[in-house]
Amino acid sequence: MTISDPPAHVPRPAIDIRDLRVDYGDFVAVDDLSLKVPPGEVFGLVGPNGAGKTSTFRVLTTLMEPTYGEVILDGVDVLEDIESARRVVGYMPDLAPVPGDLKVGEFLEYYASAYGLGSLPQRRERVVECMEEVAVTDLREKWCKELSRGQTQRVVLAKTLLHRPRVLILDEPASGLDPLARRDLRNALRRLAKTGATVFISSHILSELAEMCTSLCVMNRGRLLASGTVEEVRQQLGNTERTITASLLHRHEEAAEWLAAMPAVHELRIEGSQVVFGFKGTDDEQADLMEGLVREGFRLRAFEERRSSFEDILVEVAESNRRSS
């Protein structure tokens, strides 16, 4: 079933999840999840173990039916028209196996045939295109059993691209990759997004997603906690705290005393010529703080901030699980 397009001025979401619920007996894996992802995004899905990521992906890729809800991929209703949905979506599971007794080129040509991609010359041309897209052309004659972890991931991604899916679902695609392989994968995904394809990535490593994604969402216990850009997710999770280091030329003790009286400042300490403190205010309040230091005659050499890392945010989410258990 194909869903009618929205008005011309409103782009149709590439991924449209509505009130999705997945139950395993009495256990709720996905709890009324609603999410829209526009085309051309590299969109991340992150959360601790048990957040509902795998169940969400299994529904999106037609591998299981939900308890209820709707999933629309590029205008196709996944639950009403499975065959059309499978032509729209490309799925790369974590640790996808490759047959060791085939060469890389043979492996990709086999899948091109399975997808029914035209004549033999057309299939081979498409295989070459996909190998070039993920930079594995030099591996064509290499046996699959000889591939490194990073090479295997890129070959499987090439296979996932063969039928030109408009939505790619990638489960932990950078798991176990070295920094160079992660960079190559990141660049390949960004090139795909520029063609209008939408990439939906699951990972439990937030820093990994921060490098790869244009937007992301955070799930916990089956529920959506936050969605948007990196900074929007921080705001929605209430994680705007930062550590600020003010480097001064003189009057460090006086500056520390002045700062300590500010309501958003806490855990202040002096480290040589620097005053280091936690800050829970807004960006405007931070700017006011810096202006106030200058107005009071303190000579600032530098004013630097460090926000909570994504790993810190995920740790907070996981710890809230334990506290509420």
How far is Cα 322 from Cα 250, in angstroms, rounded to an integer?
46
- Same domain assignment for residues 135 and 264: no
Q: How confident is the model at residue 138 (pLDDT cuts 50, 70, 90)?
A: very high
pLDDT of residue 21: 96
- Shared-domain flag, residues 44 and 180: yes
In angstroms, the Cα distances linking 46 to 34, 277, 290, 315 are: 15, 30, 35, 12
Say if residue 22 is exposed, middle or buried (CB neighbours under 10 Å; 0-12, 13-18, 19+).
buried
Q: What are residue 168's DSSP bridge partners?
A: 90, 199
Mean pLDDT of all residues belonging to the chain: 86
3-state class (DSSP) for residue 175: coil
Asked if residue 167 is part of any domain, the answer here is yes
DSSP 98: -
Q: What gap in Å lies between CA 229 and CA 218, rounded to an integer? A: 11
Domain boundary among 195, 218, 236: 236
Q: Which two tokens stand for residue 316?
A: 């907070």
pLDDT tens for 159-180 read 999 999 999 999 888 776 777 7
* Closest of 87, 46, 55 to residue 226, by C-alpha: 46
The domain that contains 94 carries what CATH number? 3.40.50.300
- pLDDT tops 70 at residue 1: no
108 in Cβ contact with 102 (< 8 Å): no
Question: pLDDT higher for 295 or 323?
Answer: 295
CATH assignment of the domain containing 258 = 3.30.70.100
- Report pLDDT for 39: 92
135 with 23, same domain: the answer is yes
Whether 253 has a pLDDT exceeding 80, the answer reads yes
Between CA 155 and CA 179, with CA 204 as vertex, the angle to 5 degrees is 50
Q: Are residues 176 and 250 in the same domain?
A: no
Which of 186-195, 199-208, 298-307 has the weakest average pLDDT?
199-208
Q: For residue 104, what are the domain limits? A: 15-236
Average pLDDT over residues 189-218: 82
> Rounded to whole angstroms, how far apart are CA atoms 321 and 59?
24
pLDDT at residue 128 in the model: 95
How many structural domains compose the chain?
A: 2
pLDDT tens string 68-113: 999 999 999 999 999 999 999 999 988 788 999 999 999 999 999 9
Domain for residue 95, yes or no?
A: yes
Percentage of the chain beyond pLDDT 90 is 53
